[in-house]
Amino acid sequence: MVERHSHHDVERYKTVIKEAFTKHYEEGSDVWSNDASLVDATKIAFDTAFKRLNRRLHLLDIGCGNGRHLMSLPNLASYTGIDLFHHENWESYDGTKPFEVKFIQDDFLAWAMRQTQKFDLIVDNGCFHHQHPDEHFDYLQQISECLQSDGLFSVVVWGEVFREGNIDDYGRYHCYFSPESIVQLIESTPLEVLRVIESKALIGKSQLQVIALKK
């Protein structure tokens, strides 16, 4: 059973996680920025959504980091990247694609609750497993709210224990899941799992990519 935490702890954690990611980028320890497995996951998600929906996609990239996934994607209807950290690379993408490209510095949950755009595909390449456990359900609920009625969601999470206690030196949670537990959690919301794909992160840890459809 997941331990419940006070509202104060949840709110304080928002500051912790923002500071943690900022330190990683400033120190150059953002290993995910060069992790080819996450580019592969984005391509798999795009191919799955495009074949199923057969239209140009409005895509939301949660935790977009340096924005590199934009360059691995073919012609979209639009791309929106959101991250807690404003990456210096964002400005370099201006005018590089024949569709709207937008980057936003914000907390996904806070942003999602005040915006109205609907997306065909939402990708999360390693953010969900850093969220406060008490916000997992709300996070997935907002994903569903941001999707078109036939939209898809792709998420990459840890498939094994990161370290004892699952809190890293920067104070971030590293929640991990079995295929059964992540499917159960996702399907407790208005999402239905289509595929679970096992892979390895750059640091050698097992990870799971889950692709789900809005019910």
The pLDDT tens digits of the residues spanning 66-80 come to 999 999 898 899 999
Q: Which of these, 112, 124, 149, lies nearest to 211 by C-alpha position?
A: 124
Please name the residue that has the structure tokens 């980091």.
Answer: 65
Edge-to-edge strands, sheet with 206-214: 100-105, 78-83, 58-62, 119-125, 147-158, 206-214, 191-200
- Is the pLDDT confidence value at 133 over 50? yes
What pLDDT, in 10s, does the model give residues 142-164? 999 999 999 999 999 999 988 77
What pLDDT, in 10s, does the model give residues 71-117? 989 889 999 999 999 999 999 999 899 999 999 999 999 999 999 99
Domains and CATH numbers, the chain: 7-214 (3.40.50.150)
DSSP H stretches of helix in 54-135: 108-112
What pLDDT, in 10s, does the model give residues 191-213? 999 999 999 999 999 999 999 99
Average pLDDT, the chain: 93
Phi (first) and psi of residue 129, to 5 degrees? -75, -5
Exposed/middle/buried for residue 133 (C-beta within 10 Å: 0-12, 13-18, 19+): middle
